[in-house]
Amino acid sequence: MVQKLVAEVPSRIWGEARPPRMRVWENEFNVASWIRVSGGNGELALTAFHIDEAGEHTTLIDRTLIDGDGSALMSGLVRLRFTGEVELVQVHLKLGDAAMRFHVDELFFQRRGSNLRREDKLISNF
């Protein structure tokens, strides 16, 4: 699968609920995205990727099969476990066919239990 960066998640979203002085902590996030795909068929996988002191981690958010041109709503609830200092959190899209082209119309990344805020919308083309 071909992996593409969709967006970097700002620390204000994933880091705001870190318990003080905790070395290892977890948070759950609601993630949703509208993605338009063209040029190929195959599997699409939306993932959360992060790097912390324990290394690199990839967590599946959602996956679907694409048969021709179209749009997909991909969403899921993911639990991310962080250790020590966090270098980055990103959203990636894995394409089953290198010929596939994609465009992300919207992307939300929200900590579960928090009120939806305007800044939780990472990508908006509307």
Domain boundaries, the chain: 2-124
Tens of pLDDT, residue by residue over 4-46, are 999 999 988 888 778 778 889 999 999 999 999 998 889 999 9
Q: Which residue has the tokens 């969709």?
A: 6
Judge if pTM exceeds 0.85.
yes
CATH of domain 2-124: 2.60.120.260
Q: Which residue has the tokens 């063209």?
A: 38
Joined together, the tokens standing for residue 63 give 């996956």
What does the alpha-carbon distance between residue 15 and residue 3 come to, in Å, rounded to a whole number? 25
What does the alpha-carbon distance between residue 75 and residue 62 come to, in Å, rounded to a whole number? 6
Q: What pLDDT does 29 receive?
A: 93
What does the alpha-carbon distance between residue 116 and residue 63 come to, in Å, rounded to a whole number? 24
Is residue 126 over pLDDT 60? no
Tens of pLDDT, residue by residue over 66-88, are 988 889 999 999 999 999 999 99
Task: Count Cβ atoms within 10 A of the Cβ of residue 41 and give its class: 0-12 exposed, 13-18 middle, 19 or more buried.
Answer: middle
